Amino acid sequence: MGELDKYKGFKAELAVAETFEEIRNIEIKATAVAKAAAEFAKTDMIGKKEQDEWGEFRVGIKAKKGALLEAKFPKGGDRKSKSSKPTLILADEGITKDESSNARLIHDEPDL
């Protein structure tokens, strides 16, 4: 499978991803391929355009994660509720506060 086929496959996976686990798996695979692409770039096996596409795709993954975070964990959370019902927290999904902050920023400010 060529790099372009992988890229198209990851984009299709991301388009239908609905959980943090699905997004995390795509992110891990895309990061590995992007690192390999960077190594290939050193030997002129791939060009800057393809490297840029992988970089933009990785930013897109973060933006999708930010959108999902905003939907499941709105900013400010449920701090005013006195509900005894247990609520999910970021740590339950394996997401750090920094990761959440960065993903939300990328989602909210796509021009960055």
Residues 79, 80, 83: CA angle, nearest 5 degrees: 90
Per-residue DSSP letter, 86:
-
Whether the pLDDT of residue 107 is over 50: the answer is: yes
pLDDT in the model for residue 4: 60
pLDDT in the model for residue 63: 92
Mean local confidence (pLDDT), 49-73: 86
Domain spans of the chain?
A: 3-108
pLDDT in the model for residue 2: 60
DSSP secondary structure letters along 15-34? HH--SHHHHHHHHHHHHHHH
Whether the pLDDT of residue 66 is over 70: the answer is: yes
pLDDT in the model for residue 86: 42
Mean local confidence (pLDDT), 83-107: 77
